[in-house]
Structure 1
C-alpha cells in the first residue's frame, strides 16, 4: 500500500496568487472596494465570452442574486435537475419560489431535456440547467424550450469553468449564469462566486442587490428603496481569482487530461461506468466520477469505497436526489413521483481524487487499486 494520501481535491495555486494578495494587503485594500475585484470581474467574464461579471461571496448567493435580478419570487416555479448539489434548490427557495425537479439523463447525467416540458406550468418562470461535473447541458434544446414558453435561463455553471458547447463557453447561453470558486473548482478563490451576463440591465440589478441596494448612480445617502443583500467579494479573494483566471486554460487542460487518463486506465474494467459527454461539447472533467454496476464489477460501490480508504484514497458520495431532501419536503416542494436515474447515480456513484496537479503515476496507482479489487 502506498503511504501517499490521495485527497478528493486540493486547490492548485501555481500563478500570481501570493503576489496579488500581498499587493492587496500591503496597500490596505482588503475589502470589496479594491482594484482586484474589477480586474477579476473583467477577466473572468471575458474568459466566458460575456460582457459583465459580478463577483460575490459564493456560488449559492450568485444563484440567488441572479433570480432576484430577474424578479423571481413567491408564487413562481423554477425548474431544476433532481441530480444537483442542494444549493441549486436552496437558492430558489430563498426567493420564495418553488423548485420543480426533473430527472437526470442516464448517459450525460445532466437534466433530461426530454422531460422538462412536462413540468412546465403557468407558474414556471425559469429553468436552471446544471452543467454536472463539468459536462455542458444540451443548451440548444434548453434554449428552444425557454423561447417557446417565455422562460428565463439561469445557468448553474459552478462545476464547469471553461467548458464549451458547440464552440461557446458555458455561461454565455443564459440570461444570467452563475459560477462557484470554492477550493475544489478549476478556478478558485477559496470561497467565492460570480454572476455573468450580456444584459446591461441585469448587470446593474445584480450590482444593486448584492450591495444592500445602495444607489449605484447616486451618493451614499443610506436611503434604501429595496431589500438587498451583502453578497460582496473581498479584494483578497478577487486577487486570488484574478491570478487563477490568468491560468484558467492551463488548469482546464490539466483537469481534462486527468479525466482522459482515468478513462484510459479503467475503460476495460467491467462494471465501471463513466459519464458520457454531451454531443458537440467539451467536458472539463471537474470531478472524476464513476458509477459501479455491482453485478458486473463483483463488488458494491460501498465495498469499493471502503477498500480505497484502506489504501489512503479519499472519495466522496454523489448528490442525493432533491425529491428526498427533508428540507425541501418541509418547504412544500412536490416530491412525489420517481426519479430513477438520479436514484441510480446516488446509490452507485462516487468521486475519485480530482486535483488539477495529479500525475499520471498517481492516477495509474488509483486505477490499479480499483482494478485489483474487482471480482
Structure 2
C-alpha cells in the first residue's frame, strides 16, 4: 500500500506542530516496514529507509498564497503522481482533487472554528490571527466539506464545531485525544500562594495582556507581594512590570517543576486541547482558567480549578487576590488521567484496516 503524508507547514521551529510530525514519522520508521510512505515536507528533517521517503517542497512553506493555491487544487497533480492508496494531511487541510480511496486529515488548528471574536486585518496585533481565522480557515472548511475526509480532532468541542461549520457528517469526524504523558512522580503542589505561572507562546489569543491588566488592578489595591512567571522575553512583552518574571523558553522538565510551587493561570481563549492544564492538574496544582468549552472538557471532574471570563481582567484579579490571601487552596487531589497508549500512527492504521 502506498501512503502519502502532507505536512510541509511543519518545521523544527514551529513548536507543537513539528512535534506531531516528528512523533508520527518516527513511529512510521520504526513500526511499518511493509507499506510505502512518502512524506511531503519543507525539508529533509529525518532519516529515510527503503520504504519511507521524504519529498521536499520548501517553496510551499515560503509563500502562504502558494500554499493556498496548492491546497485548492494546484497541488493535485503533484500528489496524484504518487498514486496514493491513502492520503494523510497532518496540517488541517485536505488538498482538493487528490485521487485516493482513503483520505485522512489530522485537524489540530482551532482558530478557524473559534466564533467568540472576529479578528480584524485592520488591527496590526490581530492580522496574523485574522489570516488563519478568515482566510486559511475558509480554505480548511471548504476542503473538508468538498473532499469529505475522515477528520481526526482532539476534543468534543472541536468535533461539534467542525460538524456545525462544515458539511462533514458526524461519522466522518473522529475524536481522538492526544497521547497525554502521565506524571507519576507524586511531587504535588506546595500550596504556594504568591507565585503564578503561565507557560505559553506570544500569540495574541494566549491573552497575556489580560494578566498584565489584572496585575495593574491588584497593584492599584496595594497588592504587590506576588510574582507572575511567563515564558516570554522582554521583546515579546515590553509592557511587563516588576511583578512579572520573564523566563523566555524553558524546557518541559522545568515547566513541570514549576507547577509544584506556582499557581497556573490559563487565560488562553483559543485551544485545541490545552495540555499545560492537564499537566498542572496531575500535580494537584491550583488552576485559574478561562471559562471556555475546552477548559471544562479537559479538566472535567477536577476540584482545584476556578474559572473566569477571559475578557474580564477584574474577574482574574479577584481570583488572584483570593489565592494571595490564602482563601483559595488546593485540596492536593490530582486529576486522574486515563492513560491512552495508542499513537496517532496506530489510530490511522486502524482506520486503514477498517477501510472507512
Per the TM superposition, whether the score is higher than 0.5 is no
TM-score by length of 1: 0.28
Larger relative contact order (C-alpha < 8 A, sep ≥ 6)?
1
